Structure 1
Amino acid sequence: MRLWAAAHAVDDLYQGLIPATVPYFVLDRHYSYLAASGLTLAATLGSSLPQPFIGVAVDRFRLGGLAGIGVAVAGLGAGLSGLAGPYFLVWLLILISGAGVAMFHPAAGKSAREAAGESASAMSMFAAGGSVGFFLAPVLATPALSALGVGATALFIPPALLAGYALLRSHARHAAAARAKTEAEAASAAPPVAVTPAGPDQWRPFAALTGIEVVRSIAFFGVNTFIELYWLRSLHASRALAGTALACFLVGGVAGTLIGGRIADRIGTIRTVRLGSLLGLPALVALRLCPGAVAPLIFAVLAGLVLNIPFAVLVKLGQDYLPARPGTAAGVTLGLGVSVGGLASPILGAVAESHGPRGVFTVLCAVPIAATLLAFLLTAPEKYKVAGSATE
C-alpha cells in the first residue's frame, strides 16, 4: 500500500500541476484568459472522459502494467508542456498528460484494492496519496516557476519516470510469482481455485454513489479554484494569507481522507458517506459566513476535512457494488467522479463574474444538500447483506 500511495501522490501531482502552471503561461506567454482556461479544460477532458472505458479494458484484459505507463505519460506530458512553443502543442501535451492520469487510476485502484482487502483504512492510505499530490503541486511548482519561468515544468519529469519504473517492476514481479504458482499447481495436479465475485453487480446504488462523487468533486474543485480569490477579493487579505487558506484546505483534505477510512472501519461505509455529506453543509456555510481573514482559516481546514471524509470510502464502496468490475468502478469513482468537477468550473466562473468569489461560495453551500439526498439512496452491497457485516 505504501508503493501505491506514493505512486498515487506522484500521479495526482500532475493533476494539480496544470492549474498551478496556468498563471505562468499567462505571464510568460501572454495567453488570454480564454486560452488559459482552455489548458485547464484539456487536462480535465484528458483525465475524466476516458477513465470509465479504460476501467472496462483493465477488467477485461488485466492491464496491470497500465498504472506504471500512465504515471510516466502524465509526467512527460505535463513536464514538456512548458518547453513547447505553439499553443496547440502545449494544449496537446496537457491533454496527453490528462490521458496518462486516466490510464493510472483504474489499474491502480484495482491493484490497491487487492492489496487492501476489506480494510477501508488501508484504502484510505492509497486515496490520501492523491490528496498529498494535489497539495504538493502548488507548493513545489510556485517557487520553481517563479524563479525559472514556465519552462521549469521539465523539472517535474523525473518523479514520473521513477514511479513508472517502480510500478512496472513491481507488476513484473507479481506476474512472475503468479505464473510460478500456476505452474506449481499444474505440476501437482491440484485443481485451480476459482475466484468468483462476492456478489452481483448493483448498478442502481452505484449510480447514486457516482452522483455523490460528482457533486463532491464540484464542491472540492470549486473551493480549490476560488478560495485564494475569495480571500483576496472578498476578505481583502494578503497574497500570503490567501495561499495559506489554500494550503489549509488541502491539508484538511489529506486528513479527511485518512480519517474517513478509520471511521468506515468502525461504523461502516454507508454511514461514513452519509456523515461526510451531512457535515459538508455546516462546514461550507461557516466558511462563507465567518468574518475576518484569519478566523475562516479554521473552517478552510474543516471544509477540506469533511469534503474528503467520503473519498476513499466511495472508492471502496463502488468496488463492492461492482465486485466483478473493480477497474471499472475505480475508473468512475476514483477517476471520472473526481476530475469531472473541473467541468463545472466555467459555470462557477460565470457566477464569479456576476457576484464575485463570495457568490461562488454561496452556491457551493448548496452542493452538500444534493450529496446528502443521494447518500440516502445507497444500499448495502449484496455480499454484506448475506454476511451481515457492518456496512450500514
Structure 2
Amino acid sequence: MASLVPFFVAERAYSYAAVSGIVLAASLLSSVAQPVFGVLTDRFAMPWLLPVSTLLGGVGIALSGVSDSYAVTLAVVAVSGIGVAAYHPESARVARLVGRGSHKAMGWFSLGGNLGFAVAPVMVAVVVATGGLRLTPLLVLPAVVGAATCLLVLRALERRQAGGAGATVVTGKDDKASFVRLSLAVVCRSVVFIGLSTFVSLYTAERMNGSTAAGTAALCVLYLGGAVGSVLGGALADRWDRVTVSRWSYLITAGSVAGLVFVPGPALFLFVMLTSAGLYVPFSLQVTLGQDYLPSRVGTASGITLGLTVSIGGLVSPLIGAVADRTSLQTALAPLVLMPLLSWLLFRALPEPGVPPSVAAPPKGDNPDATISPAQPGLR
C-alpha cells in the first residue's frame, strides 16, 4: 500500500492526512482481525487460509485505484487488510512447524516477505507511472502467483507429513507478562516502520528537489534493508540470544532514525538502509520469542506479534500526516527517534525463554525450550 501513496498524492491531490487515512484503513481491520484468526488457527487446522488470504489481499490493492471515490478506496484497502490478517497467523505457524521452532527458519520466512516489499515500489512505479491509477488491477497478478505457490507448498507439506516426516512443536508454560512487554516493544517498532513506509518516499522526494524516482528508490532501500536485517537477525541470534540481539539493534536504530530525519543530502539513503536493517534484525526474533512466551497458543502469539502490534503502527500514521500538514514532514517524523529507545527499554526487562534472567544465553546449538512433542496432523 505504501508504494501507491505518492501516486495518490500526485494524481488525486490527497493531503498527507488523507493518504495516512488509507494506510489506517488497511491497518484498522487487520489489527482487530489478526488475533481472531490466531485464535482460530490455534483450534483448527486452516492451511487453506494461505492461498485465499493471499488472493484477497491482492484483490484489495488491485481495486484501490479503480474508483475516484475516497470512501471506495478506503473500503477496498480495508479488504486487503483482512487478507493480510488472515495470512499471518497460519503462515507463521506453518513456518514454525517446518523449521521446528528455529529462529533461523522464521528469518528466512520473513526474508520472502521483505523481498516482496522491496520489489513492490518498482512494480507499482512501472504499472502506475505508465497508465495512472486506473491500471492498478494489474497488481493482482503477483497475488495470483503467490496463491498458486501456496497451494503447491501446502501439497508438498501434506505429502511430507503423510510420509512420516512430521514437524515438531514446542510446549511449555506461558509467560504472559513477558509477552505483554514484548508486544509493547513491537508496537513501538511498528510506529517507526509504518510511519517511514508511508512517508519516506514523499520525504525523500521533498529533500531531493521533488524527484519521484528518488522517493521510489528510498522506499526500495527501506524494504531491501529489511531483507538484509531478517537474515542477519537469525545469524546474530546463533551467537548471542534473541533478547540481547534485539535490544542492541533497537539502540543502534534510534541513532539511524535520527540520521534519516536530520542529516541532509544523499546520506539519507544510507540512514534509510541502516534504519530498515535495524528494525528488521529483531523482526523474526520477536515472532519466535512471542511463540515461546505463549507456547500453548502459538497462533494467537503469531497473530499479535505479526498482526495486532504491527498494525497499530498504522493507527499513528494519520497523526503523523496531520502534523506534517500543519508543520513539515521533518517535524512530524522527528518523534519517531524515540520509539526504538522505548523498545530498547522494554527489551531490557525481557528474559530469554527457558533461561533464567540471571543466567547467560545457552551455547550455540543448544535448544532453550523445555520439551518437544509431536506435531498434530493437518499442518498443525
Question: Given the two structures, how large is their TM-score scaled by the length of structure 1?
Answer: 0.83
Amino acid at match of 2:47: G
8 Å CA contact 1:119–1:265 kept in 2: the answer is no
Partner Cα distance (1:87, 1:361) in 2: 25
8 Å CA contact 1:209–1:374 kept in 2: the answer is yes
8 Å CA contact 2:96–2:106 kept in 1: the answer is yes
Amino acid at match of 2:238: D
Partner Cα distance (1:277, 1:32) in 2: 31
Identify the residue that residue 353 of structure 1 maps to in structure 2.
Answer: 325
Structure with greater contact order relative to length (CA < 8 Å, sep ≥ 6)? 2
Partner Cα distance (2:235, 2:152) in 1: 31
1:38: Cα distance to partner? 3.5
Match of 1:245 among 191, 203, 218: 218
Q: Secondary structure at the match of 1:228?
A: helix
Q: What does the per-residue CA deviation read over 1:317-370, in whole Å, with 9 as the maximum and x for residues that have no partner?
A: 111111122211111111222222111111212332344122133211111111
1:229 aligned onto 2:212: no
Match of 1:270 among 243, 262, 265: 243
Superposition pairs of residues 196-235 of structure 1, within 5 angstroms: 197-233=170-206
Q: Secondary structure at the match of 1:81?
A: coil
Amino acid at match of 1:212: A
1:106 aligned onto 2:102: no
Q: What does the per-residue CA deviation read over 1:138-190, in whole Å, with 9 as the maximum and x for residues that have no partner?
A: 111012111112122211222212222332343345346546759xxxxxxxx
Identify the residue that residue 22 of structure 2 maps to in structure 1.
Answer: 39
Identify the residue that residue 78 of structure 2 maps to in structure 1.
Answer: 95
Partner Cα distance (1:89, 1:367) in 2: 33
Q: What does the per-residue CA deviation read over 1:204-253, in whole Å, with 9 as the maximum and x for residues that have no partner?
A: 11111111111011111222223233334457574443433333332222
Say which is worse superposed, 298-307 or 173-182, in terms of deviation.
173-182
- 1:347–1:38 distance in 2 versus 1, CA, 3 Å: closer
Identify the residue that residue 328 of structure 1 maps to in structure 2.
Answer: 300
1:26: Cα distance to partner? 5.3
Match of 1:52 among 12, 17, 35: 35
- 1:125–1:145 distance in 2 versus 1, CA, 3 Å: same
Identify the residue that residue 187 of structure 1 maps to in structure 2.
Answer: none
1:23: Cα distance to partner? 4.3
Percent identical:
35
1:284 aligned onto 2:249: no
Partner Cα distance (1:54, 1:274) in 2: 29
Partner Cα distance (2:108, 2:349) in 1: 27
8 Å CA contact 1:231–1:293 kept in 2: the answer is no
Q: What does the per-residue CA deviation read over 1:252-301, in whole Å, with 9 as the maximum and x for residues that have no partner?
A: 222112111110111111111111111112222233342x3112322221
Partner Cα distance (2:169, 2:276) in 1: 38
Partner Cα distance (2:260, 2:22) in 1: 29
- 1:328–1:131 distance in 2 versus 1, CA, 3 Å: same
Identify the residue that residue 147 of structure 1 maps to in structure 2.
Answer: 130
Identify the residue that residue 319 of structure 1 maps to in structure 2.
Answer: 291
Identify the residue that residue 58 of structure 2 maps to in structure 1.
Answer: 75
Which segments of 5 or more consecutive residues in structure 1 lack a partner in the other structure? 1-17, 183-192
- 1:307–1:34 distance in 2 versus 1, CA, 3 Å: closer
Identify the residue that residue 138 of structure 1 maps to in structure 2.
Answer: 121
Q: CA RMSD, aligned part only?
A: 2.9
Number of equivalenced pairs: 363
1:115: Cα distance to partner? 1.3
Question: Given the two structures, how large is their TM-score scaled by the length of structure 2?
Answer: 0.85
Which segments of 5 or more consecutive residues in structure 2 lack a partner in the other structure? 370-380
8 Å CA contact 1:199–1:383 kept in 2: the answer is no
Say which is worse superposed, 236-245 or 218-227, in terms of deviation.
236-245
8 Å CA contact 2:290–2:305 kept in 1: the answer is yes
Q: What does the per-residue CA deviation read over 1:42-98, in whole Å, with 9 as the maximum and x for residues that have no partner?
A: 211232221011001011112122112110111122223333565544332221111
Q: Secondary structure at the match of 1:62?
A: coil
8 Å CA contact 1:46–1:97 kept in 2: the answer is no
Match of 2:102 among 119, 128, 135: 119
Match of 2:146 among 163, 173, 191: 163
Amino acid at match of 2:178: P
Partner Cα distance (2:202, 2:71) in 1: 28
Match of 1:371 among 335, 343, 350: 343
8 Å CA contact 1:234–1:357 kept in 2: the answer is no
Say which is worse superposed, 224-233 or 249-258, in terms of deviation.
224-233
1:119: Cα distance to partner? 2.9
Identify the residue that residue 380 of structure 1 maps to in structure 2.
Answer: 352
Amino acid at match of 1:279: I
Q: Whose helix proportion is higher, 1 or 2?
A: 1
